[in-house]
Structure 1
Amino acid sequence: MSGDDRQQLSLLQRGEHHARPGQVRVLTLNVQHANPARSRRQAEWLAVQDADVVVLTEVTPGAHAITQALGEHEFTVHLGDGGSDYLTVVASRIGNQEPAPEIHPGYLPHRCAAIRLHLDDGSSVGVVGLYVPSRGPQERRNVDKRLFQDAVAEMLPALADDLAVTGPVVIAGDLNVVEPGHKPHHTVFGAWEYTFYRAFDAAGYGDAFRHHHPDLDDHSWYGRRSGAGYRFDHLFCSPVGAIADCCYVHEPRTSGLSDHAAMTATITLPTGTL
């Protein structure tokens, strides 16, 4: 462990958090519709992670417990607007957060939350959180999922221009889709779902995990009956070369905080902005 890492760990253990020059650390976690008590435990866990920005998905309507708990740990919180089902939350504890409510898909917009994060060095990054619906009940099998995915895919090509930040743009969350060639192969996914995954690359957003781990099989959620793994949680970045590292953190899943693993990545800023 380097001297900088030891100093940061000491700060986190004392409940303090400071930015690292030239870097933004992002974490995403599906909170599994947590009740107020589990939301507080999740916020406590997030507070001691080495993350500047967190993207939370499957947040219960209203989100009062998690937003209050994150605020107590010095996060500034932005959440998707309205909606009677699950919300997406983006929270930050460095820089100056500017919500970007104009960034939203044309269907179920509350499942998207976007911010511009203005940093102390004068640079800015865009962070967009997404929560794609699951397959849904039999009477609406894949209806909401497909409509939301189509709406997101439609907004991706203009996203960077609409955010107009000086640094990278990050898109993170539970997309409820796996990549083509996923191991194990799951026959339940259709060609239209792989088309959605490919839409990110087509719009200039690279898969951060796959960029750093071309051959590694890791999963963020496991089937309750089958035990089979799914890489549902993703982080995409433009440019993908700005990703310094990316991995899954399984502690939330193995400890019972959620049924999903978290995902973390470090984003490097262009040297010209420092």
Structure 2
Amino acid sequence: MLSVLTVNIGAASRERAERLLGWLATRPEQVVLLTETSAGTGTAFLLEEFSRAGWRVVNTPDDGDRGAALVSRIALTDQSVDLGAVSIPGRIAAAVLDTSPQICVAAVYVPSRDRSLAKTERKETFITSLLKTLAALPEQTRRHLVLGGDYNVIGRTHRPLHRGFLPFEFGLLEALNEQGLRDAHDLLRTEEQPYSWIGRTGDGYRYDYLHVGAELAGRIDACAYLHETREQGLTDHAALTATLRVAGCALSTGSFGERSEIALF
């Protein structure tokens, strides 16, 4: 079995990153997708600790922006994933895992926006470029793709249907479906309307997702939002986890070191 977890770390400070690492060390997932990473000490600490413990780390740092990273204790193949069309390269991280069947996993952090034209255009450009990149992947890769992260959009059927979202934002989820990428949560329908982020007014938004290609849709055994990350103050987002019937070549990993008594296995 292969389990994947995605969580927005909210550009964690060093102190919060240490607490988040303690929580991640208790989790069974073999692949973790981190979104809203940053050039700060918290992100550096997390990635260094995973690397030191023997996990493989995929990250495209950008000192001037938030981003995404992928860490895996499943071995990676040497196959490259062409992400050249993405407008902000640091906001996507991908790798092909040594699994059976072989799958590609990608972490993505879609930009947020306000009402300004500049940030709206930046987000729309990124979404357009992301969809173009996914469409250009070899068909076999897209059919065996796991895409996850903080998309910063909701669907047209979201309840409540919050005001202010634009057609291109609703269009992201619709276009993924048209490309054969299915919402892992919706495939199992474990909750009627889950939320992964709660605003200051108490309104819930579903911003975090995991999508799978056509060859993986029938292999999902479980999918759930984990709200302890919010409840424990580790981040303001719930984590999302999914388990697939996929066999992987596990790495030999060790502990996080003196800062954590919990070992990876």
TM-score band, normalised by shorter chain: 0.7 to 0.9
Could you tell me how far apart the structure 1 residues matched to 2:3 and 2:191 are?
Answer: 23
Could you tell me how far apart the structure 1 residues matched to 2:79 and 2:64 are?
Answer: 21
Partner of 1:28: 6
Partner of 1:180: 156
Aligned pair partner of 2:113 in 135, 145, 149 = 135
The offset of 1:110, in angstroms, is 0.8
Count of equivalent residues: 243
Partner of 1:59: 37
Partner of 1:82: 62
Could you tell me how far apart the structure 1 residues matched to 2:32 and 2:76 are?
Answer: 14
Could you tell me how far apart the structure 1 residues matched to 2:234 and 2:145 are?
Answer: 28
Aligned pair partner of 1:41 in 6, 19, 24 = 19
Partner of 1:210: 186
Matched, 1:109 2:89: yes
| Preserved CA contact (<8 Å) 1:105 1:112 | no
Partner of 1:145: 123
Could you tell me how far apart the structure 1 residues matched to 2:218 and 2:148 are?
Answer: 16
Matched, 1:201 2:183: no
* Structure 1 counterpart of 2:202, one-letter code: G
Could you tell me how far apart the structure 1 residues matched to 2:77 and 2:22 are?
Answer: 21
Sort the Cα spacing of 1:40 and 1:72 in 2 relative to 1 into closer, same or farther, 3 A: farther
The offset of 1:83, in angstroms, is 5.2
Matched, 1:229 2:204: yes
* Structure 1 counterpart of 2:219, one-letter code: A
Aligned pair partner of 2:222 in 212, 224, 245 = 245
* Structure 2 counterpart of 1:193, one-letter code: E
Could you tell me how far apart the structure 2 residues matched to 1:208 and 1:149 are?
Answer: 20
Partner of 1:71: 51
TM-score in terms of structure 2 length: 0.84
Partner of 1:11: none
| Preserved CA contact (<8 Å) 2:196 2:206 | yes
* Structure 1 counterpart of 2:21, one-letter code: A
Partner of 2:233: 256
Aligned pair partner of 1:269 in 242, 246, 261 = 246
List runs of 5+ in structure 2 lacking aligned partners: 248-265
Partner of 2:260: none
**Percent identity of the aligned residues?**
32
Could you tell me how far apart the structure 2 residues matched to 1:228 and 1:168 are?
Answer: 35
Matched, 1:220 2:196: yes
Could you tell me how far apart the structure 1 residues matched to 2:144 and 2:66 are?
Answer: 27
Sort the Cα spacing of 1:177 and 1:168 in 2 relative to 1 into closer, same or farther, 3 A: same
Higher relative contact order (CA 8 A, sep 6+): 2
Residues 120-140 of structure 1 show CA distances to partners (whole Å, capped at 9, x for unaligned) of xx6421101100000147362
Could you tell me how far apart the structure 1 residues matched to 2:53 and 2:168 are?
Answer: 40
Could you tell me how far apart the structure 1 residues matched to 2:14 and 2:138 are?
Answer: 35
| Preserved CA contact (<8 Å) 1:42 1:257 | yes
Partner of 1:100: 80
The offset of 1:101, in angstroms, is 5.3
